[in-house]
Amino acid sequence: MRLLWRRRSANEPDHELIWLAVSAASIAGAAAWLGFALPWPRCAFLAVTGLPCITCGATRGAIAFLQGGLLAALRWNPLAFVAFCALIVFDLYAAVVLFGRTVRLRIVDWTVTEKNATRIVVISLLALNWIYLLAHRDRF
C-alpha cells in the first residue's frame, strides 16, 4: 500500500466533493429533523430482542457530540464517536483540497494481505463496539 499526493485525473470521480456533499446533506437533514421535532428513529433490533444493535446510541451520541458533550458522545457509542471525529477531519481535508485546488491523497497498490488485514480490523472494531454496547445495555 502506498500513499500518494496527486492531482485528480479527468476521468476519476471527485471523491472529496461527493463525500463532502453527502456529509453536509446528512448534517442538514439531521438538523432539519431535530428542528421540526420529528420523532427519533427507533431501533427495530432493540425492540425485537431487547439488546442494542451495533449502531444503538449513535443518534444520541451525535446530538451530544454536536452540543460539545464529547465524553457523553463517547459513552453512547464509541465507534460512532470515532466516526464523527474522522468525519470532521475528512470534511476539513476535503474543503481545503476543493477550495485550494490542491493535490489529493490517494491510497494505491493494496496487497491482498493488506486488504484482508483491513477487513479483520474493521470487523474486530465492530465486534468490540457491540460488546461494549451489550455490556452497557441498561442505557438503552
Q: Number of helices (H) and strands (E), helices first, in the chain?
A: 6, 2
pLDDT tens, residue by residue, 54-99: 999 999 999 999 999 999 999 999 999 999 999 999 999 999 999 9
Query: Which pLDDT score is estimated for 136?
Result: 96
3-state secondary structure of 108: strand
If one compares 130 and 40, the residue with the highest pLDDT of the two is: 130
In this structure, the number of other CB atoms found within 10 A of the CB of residue 46 comes to: 14
The per-residue pLDDT for 41 is: 84
- Reported as a single tens digit per residue, the pLDDT across 119-136 is 999 999 999 999 999 999
Distance from C-alpha of 28 to C-alpha of 85, rounded to nearest angstrom: 18
Contact call for residues 54 and 133 (beta carbons, < 8 A): yes
- Judge contact between 106 and 16, C-beta under 8 A: no
Model pTM greater than 0.85?
A: yes
pLDDT score of 140 more than 90: no
Beta bridge partners of 106: 4
pLDDT average, residue stretch 99-123: 96
